[in-house]
């Protein structure tokens, strides 16, 4: 089953989000997990998931949106996580690339999201940019699993997260010519720990790099993984679909 385990089909990103969802579905994508990044987009992800059978929601507050977050915002995420089409807490995580100055605040919000995941027994979808050690410690402390979204680390780091029970999210970057590091990771980790994602509207795969992304571009990521591992696209779709369905109970 062809599944986009991480995208942002949200009205803040597209002129017509419903058209984008329909385009993804008619392009053969059978399950789509729309990830919120703050309270407003998380509510929208839930609303969209109620409208389309193929769409599921992840709700959460991401590291770029931690300023001004109140306890009632956190409570709101907890409340909407009760909806039956919410399958994960995400996109959450740490991002030290843009700034480390609010590190404590980022960790506080991440931990409050992990608490919700724990309480609701939901997996998490994690954004990590230059914060591997802190992320690893938080995930271990709360004993949660899920997806390391848009994984960009070394094989050694991938193996550490795999040991914690995480899937490694592979997206458009793997199709880029200069992406030797992630291509090597894909070659060396088993297909049983890979999940597919587009991160739409971002990270559009080759040959459409630079254009606005849609989950209907998943096929380019599938072909690249198949090529790297010397297997068929059908194998990639079947196994990664099974991985995500098992993890998120889809």
For binding to Ni ion (CB under 5 A), which residues are involved? 91, 199
Shortest distance, position 72 Cβ to Ni ion, whole Å: 24
In angstroms, the CA 151 to CA 102 distance is 23
Shortest distance, position 162 Cβ to Ni ion, whole Å: 20
Shortest distance, position 199 Cβ to Ni ion, whole Å: 5
Shortest distance, position 125 Cβ to Ni ion, whole Å: 8
Question: DSSP letters along 112-123, please?
Answer: HHHHHHHHHT--
Check: CB of residue 172 under 8 Å from CB of residue 204.
yes
Helix (H, G, I), strand (E, B) or coil at 176: coil
In angstroms, the CA 126 to CA 197 distance is 13
| Count of other CB atoms within 10 angstroms of residue 192 | 12
- What's the DSSP call for residue 7? E
126 or 228, CB closer to Ni ion? 126
Q: Where are the alpha helices (H) located in 35-70, listed in sequence order?
A: 39-51
Shortest distance, position 6 Cβ to Ni ion, whole Å: 6
144 or 148, CB closer to Ni ion? 148
199 or 216, CB closer to Ni ion? 199
Q: What is the CA radius of gyration of the chain?
A: 17
148 or 193, CB closer to Ni ion? 148
20 or 199, CB closer to Ni ion? 199
């Amino acid at each position: 089953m062809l599944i986009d385990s991480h995208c942002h089909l949200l009205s803040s990103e597209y002129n017509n989000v419903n058209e984008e969802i329909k385009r993804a579905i008619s392009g053969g994508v059978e399950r789509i997990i729309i990830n919120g990044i703050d309270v407003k987009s998380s509510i929208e992800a839930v609303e969209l998931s109620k409208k389309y059978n193929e769409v599921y929601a992840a709700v959460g507050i991401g590291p770029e949106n931690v300023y001004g977050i109140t306890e009632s915002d956190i409570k709101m995420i907890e409340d909407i996580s009760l909806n039956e089409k919410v399958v994960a807490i995400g996109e959450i995580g740490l991002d030290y690339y843009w700034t480390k100055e609010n590190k404590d605040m980022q960790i506080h919000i991440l931990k409050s999201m992990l608490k919700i995941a724990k309480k609701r027994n939901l997996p998490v979808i994690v954004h990590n940019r230059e914060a591997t050690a802190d992320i690893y410690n938080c995930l271990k402390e709360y004993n949660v699993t899920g997806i390391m979204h848009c994984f960009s680390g070394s094989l050694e780091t991938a193996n550490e997260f795999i040991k914690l029970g995480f899937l490694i999210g592979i997206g458009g970057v793997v199709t880029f010519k200069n992406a030797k590091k992630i291509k090597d990771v894909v070659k060396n980790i088993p297909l049983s720990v890979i999940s597919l994602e587009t991160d739409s509207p971002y990270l559009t795969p080759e040959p459409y790099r630079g254009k606005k992304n849609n989950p209907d571009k998943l096929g380019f990521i599938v072909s690249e993984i198949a090529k790297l591992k010397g297997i068929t696209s059908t194998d990639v779709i079947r196994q990664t679909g099974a991985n995500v369905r098992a993890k998120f109970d889809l």
